[in-house]
Amino acid sequence: MLPPMTLKTLKQLTRLMVGLYIYGWGIALMVHASIGIAPWDVFAQGISVQTGLSFGISSVVVSLLVLVSWIPVGVKALGIGTILNGIFIGVFCDLSMPFLPSLPNLPSQYLSFVAGIVVVAFATGLYISSNLGSGPRDGLMVGLSRRMGRPLWIIRTAVEATVLLIGWLMGGQVGFGTIIFAVAIGPLMQASLKFFKYPTKRDVELA
């Protein structure tokens, strides 16, 4: 039998990887819907359009760029979960895409998108509750908030508006789904974090 700490770590890693796998499916469902996607995903899709890389690999590139930006901002809370988040969400998204059914009409597109939001919110609570490190984007926004002395919500809004604009200019899809995501993802993530018993106010804001 493995020592308690090793068993605990194994459970944390399992929780993390299952969460990231489910998260990848959620992102794939939203991208596949083609009615607009989340700001960071618009940025990744813009890179995909400009470079010919797959969406998932472009998402990994974005995560690596964000991690590099941690250095001047002074963020040091790098965990194994941060690295695995940056790599595997994009990989799992690419792996999921070929298995998604065709969407013949607008109602099916909206159904796919809404399902994707719910899946992403559920997966967020699952992987964050593993306590193995924040995601690359979360770390950047927290670091900027501390460095600039501004509330986290202001920093998040400014950063996501910037990446959304850049991604759109590069060819990423912006649509009504982008608005749906912006309105719905906060309450859904809060519910997910509460479900997985990770309900502190600060951690909800980070998510």
In-domain check, residue 138: yes
CA distance 132 to 25: 21
Split the chain (207 residues) into runs of 10 and give each run's mean pLDDT.
66 93 96 94 96 96 91 80 92 96 95 96 89 82 82 83 95 93 85 75 45
In-domain check, residue 85: yes
In-domain check, residue 4: no
In-domain check, residue 3: no
DSSP string, 80-109: HHHHHHHHHHHHHHHHHGGGSPP--SHHHH
The domain in which residue 47 lies consists of: 10-206
In-domain check, residue 2: no
DSSP string, 18-77: HHHHHHHHHHHHHHHHTS---HHHHHHHHHHHHH---HHHHHHHHHHHHHHHHHHHT---
In-domain check, residue 1: no
Name the strand (E) or helix (H) holding 181.
helix 176-195
For residue range 3-28, list pLDDT tens digits in order: 456 888 889 999 999 999 999 999 99
For residue range 96-131, list pLDDT tens digits in order: 999 999 999 999 999 999 999 999 999 988 988 888
CA distance 144 to 148: 6
In-domain check, residue 45: yes
Q: Which two tokens stand for residue 103?
A: 């969407």
What is the number of domains present in the chain?
1
| Helices and strands of the chain, counted as H and E runs | 9, 0
In-domain check, residue 101: yes
Q: Enter the pTM of the model.
A: 0.86
